[in-house]
Amino acid sequence: MLWQKETPGANVVIRGARVLDPAEGVDARLDVRIDDGTIVAVAEQVDANEHRVIEAEGLVLAPAFVDPHVHLRTPGREDEETVASGTAAAAAGGYCAILAMPNTEPVVDSAATLGSLVETARREAEVPVGFLAAISRGQQGEELTEMAELTDAGAVAFSDDGVPVASAGLMRRALQYASITGRPLALHCEEPTLSRGGHVHEGRVAAELGFAGYPSVAESVAVERDLSLAGYERGRVHVLHLSAAESVEALARARAAGVEASGEATPHHLVLTDDAVRSLDPNVKMNPPLRAERDRVALLEAVRDGTIEAIATDHAPHAAQEKDVPFEAAPFGVTGLETAFGALYTHLVRPGLLPLATLLERMSGGPARIFGLERPRVAAGARANLVLLDLEREWRVGERPFRSRSGNSWLLGARLGGDVRMTLAGGAVVFE
Amino acid sequence: MIRLVTDDLRPPGEPPKRHLLSVADLTRDDVERLLGTARTFAASLERHVKKLPTLKGHLVVNLFYESSTRTSSSFELAAKRLSADTLTVKSTGSSVDKGESLRDTALTLGAYDPDVIVIRHPQIGAPQLVARVTEAHVVNAGDGKQQHPTQALLDLYTLQQELGRLEGLHVAIVGDVLHSRVARSLLQAFALVGIRTTLVGPPALLPRELPAETTTDIAAIRDADVVYVLRMQNERMQPGANYVPSLREYTARWGITPERLRPGQRVMHPGPMNRGVEIDAAVADSPRSLVIDEVRSGLVVRMAVLYDVLTGGPVGVRALAAAEVA
């Protein structure tokens, strides 16, 4: 289900790092030895033999990250991102696996299109990448895609992300049919008749600045609808980029009632509120929009308590000339792969709002579990999917060039504390 | 509240350019200085020769992406009365028709080294973008639904001239507040000088989160010294949006008629008026109407703004840091 270009497995010893793998119950100063891409020993002292030794005193070694929500813009907008550049950005961000959304040009709605992407990934992907296929043909919301064939061709899940499945009837049919594939539906929940024309969360900031509002209820009524349908059809759903407190409450209720539902939150929704829009910077324009402080607090609480199991960047590259326009003319979306850990470590872990172990779990094990991927772990016998983190390093976003082809980061110019030193993905060193 | 630590990326030592982008950037002192300057210019316009040499040799570019009669003509005349050279560029008939971006148009006009660029644009934040990419002082002549600061200033000037004071006045703003940059600018300007504001209109056209008294009851206008009527903006009403069922129903409920006003109340309107929709012709043409006074104020206030951004104290100085995320 995941594809990566052929890369030799690493032979390295990582010495003296604080090994932190919450799911394995490990938090200790240990050495890790990797033979040909596979972890063979995690112990107080390992033999280096001929291996390259990485002195990691003072660094944290953790399972590498999994991003279930990335836009690679390929096919169609290779000027904004390619499989090569997007996966290179992922490697720099500490990711060992990413999932790409199908809202490309053309849409990934046939086995042929998916097949050609898989071929590209086998040639170019720096880190293992998986692909979602569309729920409806052309994401038009009218006819279902051939989900069984797409699953055989390697689709990890199905999504019309970018646009909602507006018809409740089609959503029901999608839930019914997807059940034979065993793959979840990843849902962009938005009621278009409530959000239409909106650029900014409907609240004080939009009212004062004069922006057309995109209210929280535009998301939460769609979340409620889809969770009701999922419960009725016993389907598996994953709610993408949650932004509103009411949506989080709906997800918690559905999960408590036994619906197989999961959710994700993005770094920008966890760190910023609509107050940031006062800057009129098009790099804080995204769909769903940044919301109020109470929404941000609700998201954070849900990440903490596990109602939201995954943190996803919704990495959405855009060409400079399309973002360097007045706010209302700019497209929705920001990049995130290369800044996610630094942003969340700086703004959530350092101030004591989120334990480091929880952050690592939501960025790795959580999303892997939702999409049925092998969980990255620091344990003998596992493939090396590891990230080496420097929690002390202070850096400024933009000081080193982005590996992504696009620079529409909401953190441009910001100082962050905590950075990725090295990434191993699929057994290979992909970033250092 | 989380604040991102971002740095000002402007070169060190260079003072920020003086712009008038939003009423929110002004202090009460700024407003009083501008109104004082406007009064001085008003006196000069009573002379036989109305032209002043003040801005001789300066270039004022008017860049208009939306149709306008009052604002564009008064900015142009204001610049001419101060002896500045003027250049007016309208989006229709220019390279904008060929798809040129605002950034490129601004860079092109910036190559003439204009001292001031006056911009009207249908999108929020367009003046900020022009301020970012050119060296000119930028004056916002209306950006989308956000701001129209010179309108707010000219209305303050009109109120002061006609009612003799600002502090303690009560103004009811009636109509389509949601789509009105005039209402947003006025609300901030009125708060700055101690004018009480009541917003009146149909429920869907009153943003709930604005910091002002709001009511759907038209009877509330009776308490006000001044009724400020907003244009019912048909061009901003998306078909099927159903903000109001019909213009007819709007007029019946919220139209300003002689019967709804009490003696002594004054009426203002930023223009252009839809007579018979938001304002009855009998009101528009009555002595209580200040509509023509507003137009006259527009000229002297815009002269004051041009003079002030080029010469005066810190008017609406807004540091345009590259990353102002907060």
Tell which residue, A66, A80, A130, has the closest CA to residue A102.
A130
pLDDT band at A49 (very low <50, low <70, confident <90, very high): confident
Identify the three-state secondary structure at position A322.
helix
Q: Give the best residue of A216, A272, A275, A280 to mutate against chain B (max B CB count within 10 A).
A: A280
The distance of A361 to chain B (nearest Cα, Å) reads 23
CATH number of residue A305's parent domain: 3.20.20.140
Question: What phi and psi, each to the nearest 5 degrees, are found at residue B69?
Answer: -105, -60
On average, the pLDDT of chain A sits at: 97
CB contact under 8 A, A197 and B238: yes
Regarding predicted confidence, which is higher, A316 or B101?
A316
Whether residue A381 is contained in a domain is answered as no
Cβ-based interface (< 8 Å): residues of A facing B:
196-197, 202-204, 206-213, 271-273, 275-276, 278-281, 284, 293, 321, 324-329, 347, 396, 410-415
Q: What is the CB-side half-sphere exposure of residue B264 using CA atoms within 13 A?
A: 5
Q: Give the best residue of A194, A200, A209 to mutate against chain B (max B CB count within 10 A).
A: A209
Dihedral over Cα of A373, A378, A379, A385: its sign: positive
H or E segment at A205?
A: helix A204-209
Catalytic residue among A67, A109, A314, A419: A314
What does the alpha-carbon distance between residue A30 and residue A44 come to, in Å, rounded to a whole number?
Answer: 5
Contact between A270 and A291 under an 8 Å Cβ cutoff? The reply is no
B4: chain A residues, CB-CB within 8 Å: 271-272, 347, 411, 414
> DSSP of A95-143, one letter per residue?
EEEEEE-S-SSS-S-SHHHHHHHHHHHHHH-SS-EEE-B-SBGGG-SSS
Whether residue A53 is contained in a domain is answered as no
H or E segment at A264?
A: strand A260-265
Tell which CATH classification among 3.40.47.10, 3.40.50.1370, 3.60.21.10, 3.90.700.10 matches the domain B23-148+296-311.
Answer: 3.40.50.1370
DSSP state of B147: B
Nearest Cβ partner for B207 among A207, A273, A275: A207
Tokens standing for B68? 């306008």
Tell which residue, A192, A278, A204, A288, has the closest CA to residue B207.
A204
Does the structure show a pLDDT above 80 at B319? no
Whether residue A55 is contained in a domain is answered as no
pLDDT per residue as tens digits for the range A29-45: 999 999 999 999 999 99
Tokens standing for A402? 């982005």
Tokens standing for A282? 């098009």
Residue written as token pair 């389907």: A235
Regarding predicted confidence, which is higher, A141 or B323?
A141
What does the alpha-carbon distance between residue B261 and residue A96 come to, in Å, rounded to a whole number?
Answer: 70
Domain hosting A211: range is 65-374
Mean pLDDT of B155-177: 97
Report strand pairing: B196-200 vs B213-215.
parallel
pLDDT at A290: 98
Contact between B60 and B115 under an 8 Å Cβ cutoff? The reply is yes
Whether residue A365 is contained in a domain is answered as yes
Nearest Cβ partner for A326 among B5, B102, B323: B102
Regarding predicted confidence, which is higher, B311 or A417?
A417
Annotate B176-205 with b (16+ C-beta within 10 A) or e (fewer). Answer: bbbbbbbbbbbbbbbebbebbbbbbbbeeb
Percent of chain A residues past pLDDT 70, beyond the cut: 100
Domains B23-148+296-311 and B150-293 share a fold: yes
pLDDT at B48: 87
Angle A311-A290-B199 from CA coordinates, rounded to 5°:
160
Does the structure show a pLDDT above 80 at B14? no
Q: Beta partners for A290?
A: none
DSSP state of B175: S
> DSSP of B274-301, one letter per residue?
-BTTTB-HHHHTSTTB-HHHHHHHHHHH
Regarding predicted confidence, which is higher, B316 or A381?
A381
pLDDT at A266: 98
A396: chain B residues, CB-CB within 8 Å: 7
The distance of B190 to chain A (nearest Cα, Å) reads 14
Mean pLDDT of B159-177: 97
Mean pLDDT of B203-211: 90
B150-293 belongs to CATH 3.40.50.1370:
yes
CB contact under 8 A, B126 and A326: yes
What does the alpha-carbon distance between residue B281 and residue B257 come to, in Å, rounded to a whole number?
Answer: 8
CB contact under 8 A, B181 and A276: no
First to last CA, chain B: 9
pLDDT at B16: 64
Contact between B254 and B175 under an 8 Å Cβ cutoff? The reply is yes
Question: What phi and psi, each to the nearest 5 degrees, are found at residue A239?
Answer: -90, 120
Whether residue A431 is contained in a domain is answered as no
Report strand pairing: A60-63 vs A386-396.
antiparallel
A314 is catalytic: yes
Contact between A32 and A42 under an 8 Å Cβ cutoff? The reply is yes
- At a CB cut-off of 8 Å and minimum separation 6, what does B14 contact? none
Weakest mean pLDDT among A101-110, A328-337, A340-349, B67-76: B67-76
Residue of A nearest to B1 (CA): A293
CB contact under 8 A, B325 and A206: no
Looking at chain A, how many residues does it have?
A: 432
Contact between A39 and A12 under an 8 Å Cβ cutoff? The reply is no
Tell which residue, A115, A169, A107, A171, has the closest CA to residue A138.
A107
Across chain A, how many H-helices and E-strands are there?
14, 18
Weakest mean pLDDT among B191-200, B201-210, B286-295: B201-210
CB contact under 8 A, B325 and A284: yes
Nearest Cβ partner for A415 among B5, B102, B125: B5
On average, the pLDDT of chain B sits at: 88
Residue of B nearest to A292 (CA): B1
Contact between B83 and B134 under an 8 Å Cβ cutoff? The reply is no
Between the CA atoms of A49, A51, A55 and A60, what dihedral angle is there, to the nearest 10 degrees? Answer: -110
What does the alpha-carbon distance between residue A227 and residue B75 come to, in Å, rounded to a whole number?
Answer: 56
Weakest mean pLDDT among A72-76, B116-120, B192-196, B307-311: B307-311
Could you tell me the residue ranges of all domains in chain B? 23-148+296-311, 150-293
Does the structure show a pLDDT above 70 at B9? no
What does the alpha-carbon distance between residue B235 and residue B179 come to, in Å, rounded to a whole number?
Answer: 10
Dihedral over Cα of A265, A267, A273, A278: its sign: negative
Percent of chain A residues past pLDDT 90, beyond the cut: 98
Looking at chain B, how many residues does it have?
A: 326
The distance of A62 to chain B (nearest Cα, Å) reads 26
pLDDT per residue as tens digits for the range B107-150: 999 999 999 999 999 999 899 999 989 999 999 999 999 999 99
B181: chain A residues, CB-CB within 8 Å: 210
CB contact under 8 A, B124 and A324: no
What does the alpha-carbon distance between residue B232 and residue B277 come to, in Å, rounded to a whole number?
Answer: 7
Cβ-based interface (< 8 Å): residues of B facing A:
1-2, 4-7, 9, 101-103, 121, 123-126, 128-129, 143-147, 179, 181, 184, 207-211, 238, 322-326
Whether residue A292 is contained in a domain is answered as yes
pLDDT per residue as tens digits for the range A148-184: 999 999 999 999 999 999 999 999 999 999 999 999 9
pLDDT per residue as tens digits for the range A288-303: 999 999 999 999 999 9
What does the alpha-carbon distance between residue A76 and residue A101 come to, in Å, rounded to a whole number?
Answer: 13
What does the alpha-carbon distance between residue B266 and residue B262 come to, in Å, rounded to a whole number?
Answer: 9
Q: How many CB atoms lie within 10 A of CB B83?
A: 14
Mean pLDDT of A256-275: 98
pLDDT per residue as tens digits for the range A102-143: 999 999 999 999 999 999 999 999 999 999 999 999 999 999
Mean pLDDT of B254-262: 96
Question: What phi and psi, each to the nearest 5 degrees, are found at residue B266?
Answer: -100, 155
pLDDT at B315: 35
Percent of chain B residues past pLDDT 70, beyond the cut: 89
Annotate B237-275 with b (16+ C-beta within 10 A) or e (fewer). Answer: beeeeebbeebeebbeebbbeeebbeeebbbbbbbebbe
Interface ipTM:
0.83
Tell which residue, A110, A320, A280, has the closest CA to residue A199.
A280
Does the structure show a pLDDT above 70 at B15? no
Weakest mean pLDDT among A41-55, A184-198, B5-19: B5-19
- At a CB cut-off of 8 Å and minimum separation 6, what does A100 contact? A70, A71, A72, A83, A86, A117, A129, A130, A131, A132
Does the structure show a pLDDT above 70 at B2? no
Contact between B198 and B220 under an 8 Å Cβ cutoff? The reply is yes
Q: Domains in chain A: how many in total?
A: 1
pLDDT at A241: 98
